[in-house]
Amino acid sequence: MGGDPKYKPRGGKIYHEDGYQLPDDEPLMIFRGKDIGSLMAIYEYVTMLEEQPQNSTIVSHLVSSLERLHTFYQYQVDNPELQSVGCSRKSHSHYSQFLVLARQKLVEHNLIGE
């Protein structure tokens, strides 16, 4: 699982899979697998992408975002004990719904079975 396959750290910098360096002053945000709230952030991003006119850029973002949704979802399912750490289960009142929505989205895209 690990980090986002689209971006790799190298020499204190972050590079896109196409080889270019992300600008040093570009803001970034990291979601952690143990934070069940991450599922909703990725889910909502996927939903936004689905609503855009589809072109190669949008489809590329959709594919990589669905991969992340699947990876985060599977991590949550495989490690339910982590959902109670820090800002996860105890801080998100609708945490079980986050898993349901993520699963539904993954089923819609045939990434997991029903």
DSSP string, 10-76: ETTEEEETTSPBPPTTS------TT-THHHHHHHHHHHHHHTSPP-HHHHHHHHHHHHHHHHHHHHH
Of the two residues 42 and 84, the one the predictor is more confident about is 42
pLDDT value for 57: 94
Domain ranges for the chain: 29-108
Average pLDDT, the chain: 88
Tens digit of pLDDT for each residue in 59-104?
A: 999 999 999 999 999 998 998 877 654 555 556 666 778 889 999 9
pTM of this prediction? 0.84
pLDDT value for 54: 96
Among 32-36, 94-98, 110-114, name the one with the lowest average pLDDT. 94-98
